[in-house]
Structure 1
Amino acid sequence: MTISVGDKLPEATLKTMTADGAKELTTADIFAGKKVVLFGVPGAFTPTCNNNHLPGYLENNDAIRARGVDTIAVVAVNDPFVMGAWEKFTGGEGKIVYLADGSGTFVKALGLDIDLSGAGMGLRSKRFSMIVDDGKVTALNIEPVPSKADETSAANILEQL
């Protein structure tokens, strides 16, 4: 079942890269007591994710935070090393938290997983965006076409904040 507005996020452990290597973060670490914009992408470095989706969140970082957001985070079914490389490549250090959901357990628990085996990518995350207030989903957008980033864009999130 897909998560809905009003639902609490499931408990999960994700990873992020630090100067000391991969670090585990629980959903409580990320979301408890905070207002967070979380967006999910099918994969780091993929064309739509890298060229269309993520850049909007980097460009609108200050505007999103000005609306009371504590953290902006992106999650993908990639390992933490890929997510760390993507963070550096995109210049997102200190702006966006890059979360690795290596086995897809978090996106599966959200009901936002998609099988992209036909494209050679295996299990991935659907393209989504959400606003989470203290672990509770207050806005949710799921892109109907994975190769688009319209409904899940930073501009749309700004309107919802």
Structure 2
Amino acid sequence: MIERGNPVPSVRVKLVDANGIADSTSDAILGTGLVVLFSVPGAFTPTCHVNHLPGFIANQAKLHAAGVTRIVCASVNDQHVMKAWAEASGALGKVDFIADGNAELATALGLAKDFSGSGMGTRYARAAMIIRNGIVDNVFVEDAPGVSASGAPAILMALETANS
């Protein structure tokens, strides 16, 4: 698993943002400024849709005030699903999305998790990272169902601690 001090890997992904859908690489998306990346098992899935993403939307201004230049959500879904989720959740223009349809970035980060038992195949573990200019500052991986360590409030606390 990626650790503090590691550079973000360069993996081909699809970027979904306010400009639409574009081919990109993970290091191009995550490599400049202070970036918060959070990963979810799936777009529109109950915990991701109701508990994880909304916290980052609601705390966008506070995250930016803490110095965050970009908030990014990654999931093992195709770009069309990610765009529909961004639009349906009101996140478009507030959060950028990485569509990692083949779980290549999830695997490169060491966050790939087998959800085959529930019919979902390989997905991301629920997690979050603070990345400064392409280097990982902190990694927060949930060790139980739900959102606590990787939610926006926990990331805000980590940023405040780092800035004090």
TM-score by length of 2: 0.93
Gaps of 5+ in 1: none
Q: Quick one: which amino acid aligns to residue 148 of structure 2?
A: D
Q: Does 1:107 align with 2:106?
A: yes
Instruction: Say whether the 8 Å CA contact 1:11–1:28 is kept in structure 2.
Output: yes
Q: Percent identity?
A: 41
Instruction: Say whether the 8 Å CA contact 2:18–2:92 is kept in structure 1.
Output: no
Question: 1:90: which partner in 2?
Answer: 89
Q: CA RMSD of the aligned region, Å?
A: 1.4
Instruction: Say whether the 8 Å CA contact 1:34–1:134 is kept in structure 2.
Output: yes
In the aligned structure 2, how far is the partner of 1:100 from the partner of 1:26?
11
Instruction: Say whether the 8 Å CA contact 1:16–1:84 is kept in structure 2.
Output: no
Question: 2:152: which partner in 1?
Answer: 154
Instruction: Say whether the 8 Å CA contact 1:131–1:138 is kept in structure 2.
Output: yes
DSSP 3-state at the match of 1:144: coil
Question: 1:121: which partner in 2?
Answer: 120
Aligned residue-pair number:
159
Instruction: Say whether the 8 Å CA contact 2:55–2:153 is kept in structure 1.
Output: yes
Matches within 5 A, 1:56-95: 56-95=55-94
Question: 2:32: which partner in 1?
Answer: 33
Question: 1:46: which partner in 2?
Answer: 45
Change beyond 3 A, Cα 1:37–1:90? same
1:11-43 CA distance string (max 9 Å, x none): 112112368863112123212331100000000
Q: Quick one: which amino acid aligns to residue 153 of structure 1?
A: G
Q: Quick one: which amino acid aligns to residue 151 of structure 1?
A: A
In the aligned structure 2, how far is the partner of 1:132 from the partner of 1:92?
21
Q: Which moved more, 1:41-50 or 1:6-15?
A: 6-15
Q: Quick one: which amino acid aligns to residue 28 of structure 2?
A: D
Change beyond 3 A, Cα 1:20–1:157? closer
Q: 4+ residue runs of structure 1 moved beyond 2 angstroms? A: 16-22
Gaps of 5+ in 2: 160-164
Question: 1:134: which partner in 2?
Answer: 133
